Structure 1
Amino acid sequence: MNTNNNNINRRNFIRLTGITGAGLVMGLSAKANGIESVENLTSAIESFELSPFVVIEKTGQITIFNSKPEIGQGTFQSIPALIAEELEVSLNKVTIKQTTGEKKYGPGQSAGGSASVRTSYMNLRKVGASAKEMLLKAASQQWNVPVEECYAEEAQIFHKPSGKKLSYGELAEAASKIEVPKSPKLKDPKDFKILGKSVQRPDIPSKVNGTAKFGIDATVPGMVYASIERCAVLGSKLVSFDATAAKKVKGVIAVETCERIHGVYKTEGVAVIAENYWAAVQGRKALVIKWDNQGFENFNSKDYEQRLRAAAKEEGAIDHQQGNFDKAFAEAPTKIEAFYETPMVSHSPIEPMNCLASWKEGNNVEIWTSTQVPGRVISDIAKAHSITQEQVKVNMFFNGGGFGRRLYPDYVHEAVQLSKKISKPVKLIWTREDDTKQGPFRPLTYSALKGGLDANGKANAFQHKVIAPTLDMEKNYDKTKTNGTMTEGISEQKYEIEHMKNVYVHDYVHLPLAAWRAVTSTTLAFSHECFIDEMSVAAKKDPLDFRLSMLTKDSDTKNVLNKLKEVSNWDKKLPAGWGRGVAQYQFFAGLGGFVIEVSK
């Protein structure tokens, strides 16, 4: 921005200050291979905002803002590509910057539930199409020609009859003053140049050569390091601690308590803060702590599994029902019953949990971290410390894996508390042992399945009962209500079974829980499809043909299974010692199917 320009009008002032102040905060840049400071993002070149997601400089430089955190799934490219496709600009000519939870970009600035492209596809294409139409209109007005005589290509507007052309940079100011179209025309998919094509991901070079920046790489002058000792018995309470030996470790500067906040799960730990990470860890090892285990020291996996199995006898809450399962199952000539268990597991992303927090004068806090939910970080920290969301600033980085773990900012809470206590920037790093032992974890889930076959081996009764806690860790859950997250996908399957009942049984556990990649479909698809196999064995039928026999109507499931049969040469006899299996599952508006061959 040229601060000496006295002719900046009110509209451009709002746009420019909005961009250089709130919009272009520290973020990821494809061209800089990592982090740019806010100083590097403000310049003497005027920029014009055609939408919160599209900013064009007079030089022609185009910046597209990506609202979905990059956790390895490719949204750093795919989300901007939706805009670039309709804007008619190549990705290699665009600077991509990550939004950091600012309200102007809306509430959907998160990565989880396989939702990024699925929920952004049409909206962001419209963003690009609207910006293009604004540029087309600006050019037609400048040339005084019908807009229908103009077209966009490679960041330029052309006038067909005369061959005139103007760059997006030359048109940006005029275009920014045009009203945003309400119903822009979208391209026909057959004309796509980016979407559905093989294009280079802009983040790959920096990740290969080591220049990409992740949260754990963040540093600021004067920062110190922290490592936290938490009780190995989950759910315990801190009674007392002796930090005498810890404070004797060279480099240790403070020992403080802090609270881990993971939804309703809250525990206290003891943090050792030091000049370097090694000293913090060594000081932590020297702590002497007394815990009250609250009786949880006797909690074990075997007893918990038995408890869930016993809970399968409960009626539970009906998630989906058709026909009369109980009657059909009771009368079925052939009955099959099975229990499936999927264990509690850690997310274990390759980048450990980490956060650098700096509590500043005026109760402002600045945060540098890897997260799937920058907006949630802002709102949660503001609420926890009774400050406004405008007082919380988040700096975003590439995430070294997420898998649902970074949907929860418990590690951010800890770092902020410690920085507030000692009035210094504090960088907290969890060890891998911390993450594995402390969770949060994917819930242990039990599936109790029942199936009935008629005299001809046809499936006519099916029940899938899911026994598990909720991801919100609700102790007093209303057991008359189902839970769509915990029964994810089981009622979306297209098998045509006359009598069907899907049920959820709630069973509380005191442990920290969290969504895990693909949430609960990863657990339920396994049990659901394995049981279909068990039914096919009982019916003495081929497992793929058995599935197709339950799909008389046209559906994606039927099409996928038929395609699998074709491409896998299913009917071709396998050599001795080989086996073959098939499975499919529909969830998140998508469908996956596999044929796997194995040998001894």
Structure 2
Amino acid sequence: MENINTSRRSFIKTTSLTGVGLIIGVSSFAREKHPKNISHTNPNKATVLDLEINPFIIISTDGSIALINPRPDMGQGSTQAAPSLIAEELEVSLDKVRLIQSDGQSKYGSQQSGGSSTVRGLWTSLRKAGAAAKEMLIETAAKRWNASIADCYANDGKIYLKNSDKSFTYGELVDEASKLVVPKNPKLKDPKDFKILGKYNKRLDVPERVTGKAVYGIDIDIPNMVYACIQHSPAIHGKIVSIDDSETLKVKGVLQVMKCERQMPHRKSDAVAIIATNWWAALKGRKALKVTWDNGDLAKTMSTDNYFAATYEAAKKEGIRYEEKGDFNAKFANAKQKLEANYETPFLAHAPIEPECAVVHVKDDGTAEVWAHVQGPDGGLGDVSAALGISKDKIKFNVPLLGGSFGRKAYHDYLNETCFLAKALKKPVKMIWTREDDITQGPYRPGMLSHMQGFVDGGKITGYHHHAIGESIVGQVFNGLAPDESDPWLSGEISTENSKYEFPVSKISWTNVKTDIPIVWWRSVYASNMGWGQECFIDELAQLAGKDPLEARLDLITDARYRKVLETIAEKANWKEKLSAGQGKGLAVFASFGSISACCITVSKNGDGIKIDKVVSVLDCGYYVNPDHVKAQTEGNIVMGITAAIKGGITFTNGVCDQSNFHQYNVMRLNEAPKMEIHIIDSGENPGGVGEPGLPPVAPALGNAIFAATGKRLRKLPFDITNLA
């Protein structure tokens, strides 16, 4: 599979496909509105067969095949996953197709990479696209041979006639096939007949990434562009009082200094841009710049100490009820064996290896071109259109590869900044954030508190309450949360319907504690916060009931799929083995994004701390594309989950972030990574997510293992595993 981006650190123009071809797709994007006036003419003069069709397949008369990837690749493997869905039904091998990244046009439907949605969101629609094209090609061949459709079959880019040596390439048939009516309900393969899906296949884009040929957002270089480096307020929302650029303008290569703005989804903030002929000059110029800021009352409103103090105060009060079974408060008040505890998770930065950047060119003819490593080109195109005041049809939106994201590059403040500058300067602008910008400016995963209550009776957990407390993504980012409303994203994560725990008495509640610290989704969104409190507290209640943690969970769950995950983790991690003195095992299970994941971690005492000996993870994600993808993403989740538990979070003092780079915001290094085992359950269920569900059980499994080994119950993340004294 050849990616259309073929050389790094150079500007590549997309070559046109040759010949008359067929563009076909089957739309299942009910939320997308498809305007009737969309032009369906391709530079290669390919014909769209229906105005309501999403064009995911391009077959040229010369036999070449191109497939559209509607989800940007930020490391999760969409450049192979999406085309695999099409190629499976189209009967072509991935090494014989070209890949084209979608560009934000509505005909491609939702193009957002996030929420572990690529495979589970496109599983049926992209397979239908491939199957429909295949049926049309088979019908065309049958007519030419005057044969029955049943006597024709597709294989490896050709249509064959059974019991003969006759065949046609797709290219030989495509012109005729393009005149047929598109099948609305093409027959899809039985999974037992899959050749690509569910099989081990090489990632064909890996050589380009390893050799440096792959084009990432930071590699874009176009003629006559200038570079921009932004000076943001250390307190993020500070106001500019004065600017002294006298020393900055002395730096060779600096062209000008201009006041600009950072447009976040919920508010604007002042900033200053240094424009230069090269990046080094822009950065050097920023270091010489002197800006006086008015931070107002941000020292109070942007303090993590003050924020968490407010969450602990909220834990003493009733929250907004999301769901309740029975009268929990009355039962808890009268319970003889009960527990109450608070579990805290910190703010976290995304810290992708490739920091935020974009290139925007506003042209004299009223059009614009953009190169931006966004998670969703459709959302990016909409934001650029609004920022520039140019209609979407006059904007060409290019999406390079993303060097990591974890949710960050679906927040387009950096793209809005670049648009602001390009509109003002009337020339192509490349804006790059530094690592310090990325870590000190946010947005961040919200810090959260889980106030837990529960009781046991007769050796079983009989009552459970999870009170989630903190800032709301729905509220801050989208201004979409009423004062008396429970955050639906968060509450849904910890609902008993999602977790499948069947407590005789239970309650889920929520309190919104606001902050000016900007927040957004972070890998696994709220599940990474809430899994910590839920799964550690289940262990606490199991201990109170005198029950094995695994058995206590199985007592509460009748859902067959959920039980299978728990039984499998017990088997693969050898849960009941006798451990050496000073060792301990902990497990946790959490459902998110349509998948169920369990984790078991073994630790052993090491001086005043512990060391992590082994991590075993089990995932039921239903049907999947490639087990290598599943394992790689789960390994990444384990590393990121442990990092979030033991390496330190983001803190604010007097309105300013205390961390600035990796020397203060640590990540797990290769030599620190524990032994990992990943096991996939082939459940045959509808596809679930893969990129995120493996993360939420990691921290609580570690916390439970530490308790098993040391007797110390940790309730606040992060903690130092080298010193638990």
Q: Specify the TM-score bucket, using the shorter chain as the normaliser.
A: over 0.9
Q: Which residue of 2 aligns with 1:214?
A: 216
Q: Please say if residues 10 and 221 of structure 2, whose CA atoms lie closer than 8 Å, have aligned partners that are also in contact.
A: no
Q: 1:259 Cα shift?
A: 1.2
The residue correspondences of 1:110-189 to structure 2 (distance < 5 A) are 110-189=112-191
2:652 is matched with none
1:523 aligned partner? 529
Instruction: Give the match for residue 356 of structure 1.
Output: 359
The answer for unaligned runs of 5 or more in structure 1 is 1-26
Asked if structure 1 preserves the Cα contact closer than 8 Å seen for 2:387 and 2:419, the reply is no
Which of the residues 83, 86, 94 maps onto 2:86? 83
**2:334 aligned with 1:331:** yes
Q: Deviations over 1:166-212 (max 9, x none)?
A: 11110111111111101110101011000011111121010111111
For residue 295 of structure 2, the aligned residue among 255, 279, 293 is 293
1:564 to 563, 569, 580: 569
Counterparts of 1:40 and 1:493, CA distance in 2:
47
The one-letter code sitting in structure 2 at the alignment partner of 1:598 is V
CA contact (8 A) 1:487 1:524 kept: no
**1:38 Cα deviation (Å)?**
7.9
Distance 1:484 1:154, change over 3 A: same
1:193 to 188, 195, 204: 195
1:227 deviates by 0.6
> What's the % identity of the aligned pairs?
41
- State the alpha-carbon separation in 2 of the partners of residues 144 and 76 from structure 1: 39
Per the TM alignment, residue 161 of structure 1 is displaced from its structure 2 partner at its CA by 3.7
Structure 2 residue identity aligned to 1:278: W
Work out the CA distance in 1 between the residues paired with 2:469 and 2:501.
Answer: 22
1:410-421, aligned counterparts within 5 Å? 410-421=413-424
How much does 1:132 deviate?
0.6
The residue identity in structure 2 corresponding to 1:486 is L
CA deviation string 1:107-127 (max 9, x = no partner): x11100011111110111111
- Measured in 2, the distance between the counterparts of 1:126 and 1:180 equals 11
- The Cα shift of 1:316 comes to 2.5
* Preserved CA contact (<8 Å) 1:316 1:479: no
Contact 1:473 1:512 in 2 (8 A): no
What is the Cα deviation at residue 44 of structure 1? 4.6
Tell me, which stretches of 5 or more residues in structure 2 are unaligned? 26-54, 606-725
2:657 matched to which residue of 1? none
Cα contact 2:2–2:97 (8 A) shared by 1? no
Q: 1:486 deviation in Å?
A: 2.4
State how far apart, in whole Å, the 2-side matches of 1:262 and 1:430 are. 15
Residue 66 (str. 1) matches residue 69 (str. 2): yes
Cα 1:560/1:432, change in 2 over 3 Å: same
Match of 2:598 in 1: 593
- C-alpha displacement at 1:313, in angstroms? 3.2
* Separation in 2, partners of 1:421, 1:39: 26
Deviation at 1:319, TM superposition (A): 2.0
**Does the 8 A contact of 1:343 with 1:444 survive in 2?**
yes
Distance in 2 of aligned mates of 1:302 and 1:434:
22
What is residue 18 of structure 1 aligned with on the other side? none
Aligned 8 A contact 2:388 2:423 in 1: no
Counterpart Cα distance in 2 of 1:257 and 1:562? 60
- 1:88-146 per-residue CA deviation (whole Å, 9 max, x = no partner) reads 1111111111111112212x111000111111101111111111101111111111211
Residue 33 of structure 1 and its aligned partner are, at CA, apart by: 6.0
Which of 4, 26, 49 is the matching residue for 2:23? 49
Question: How many angstroms apart in 2 are the aligned matches of 1:493 and 1:266?
Answer: 38
Once the two structures are superposed, what CA deviation does each residue of 1:295-318 show, in whole Å capped at 9, x if it has no partner?
Answer: 112442212111111122343322
SS of the equivalent of 1:453 reads strand
Classify the secondary structure of the residue corresponding to 1:179: coil
CA distance in 1, matches of 2:5, 2:155: 22
**Matched residue, 2:538:** 532
Q: 2-side partners of 1:392 and 1:156: how far apart?
A: 37
Instruction: Kindly indicate whether the alpha-carbon contact (under 8 Å) linking 2:474 and 2:481 is maintained by their aligned counterparts in 1.
Output: no
Q: Distance in 1 between matches of 2:409 and 2:255?
A: 29
Aligned counterparts of 1:39 and 1:558: Cα–Cα separation in 2: 52
Instruction: Look up the SS of the partner of 1:549 in the other structure.
Output: helix
TM-score of the superposed pair, with normalisation by structure 2 = 0.76
Return closer, same or farther for 1:476/1:519 CA change in 2, 3 Å cut-off. Answer: closer
Of 233, 252, 256, 1:254 maps to 256
| Residue 451 of structure 1, aligned match among 440, 443, 454 | 454
Mapped contact 1:468–1:486 kept (Cα < 8 A): no
**Is the counterpart of residue 487 in structure 1 residue 491 in structure 2?**
yes
1:369 and 2:372 are equivalent in the alignment: yes
- The answer to whether the Cα contact below 8 Å between 2:66 and 2:97 also exists between their aligned partners in 1 is yes
Give the TM-score, by structure 1 length: 0.92
Contact 1:28–1:98 (8 Å) recurs in 2: no
3-state DSSP of counterpart to 1:357: strand
| Range moving further from structure 2, 227-236 or 292-301 | 292-301
Distance 1:362 1:504 in 2: 52
Say yes or no: does 1:468 pair with 2:474: no
Change (3 A) 1:300 1:39: closer
The secondary structure found in structure 1 opposite 2:185 is coil
| SS of structure 1 residue aligned to 2:66 | strand
Instruction: Check conservation: 1:450, 1:463, Cα contact below 8 A.
Output: yes
Distance in 2 between residues matched to 1:577 and 1:476, nearest whole Å: 49
Q: CA RMSD in A?
A: 1.8
Partner of 1:10: none
SS at match of 1:511: coil
Return the offset for 1:384. 2.6
Pick from 423, 427, 438: which aligns with 2:441? 438
Change over 3 Å in CA distance of 1:594–1:275 after alignment to 2: same
CA distance in 2, matches of 1:267, 1:277: 23
Distance 1:47 1:125 in 2: 20
Q: 2 CA distance for matches of 1:237 and 1:477?
A: 27
**Using the alignment, how far apart are the partners of 2:86 and 2:324 within structure 1?**
42
Q: How many Å separate the matches in 1 of 2:12 and 2:173?
A: 26
- Aligned equivalent of 2:344: 341
Residues 399-414 of structure 1 mapped to structure 2, 5 A cutoff = 399-414=402-417
1:572 counterpart SS class:
coil
Q: Give the Cα separation in 2 of the matches to 1:34 and 1:160.
A: 46
1:579 and 2:584 correspond: yes
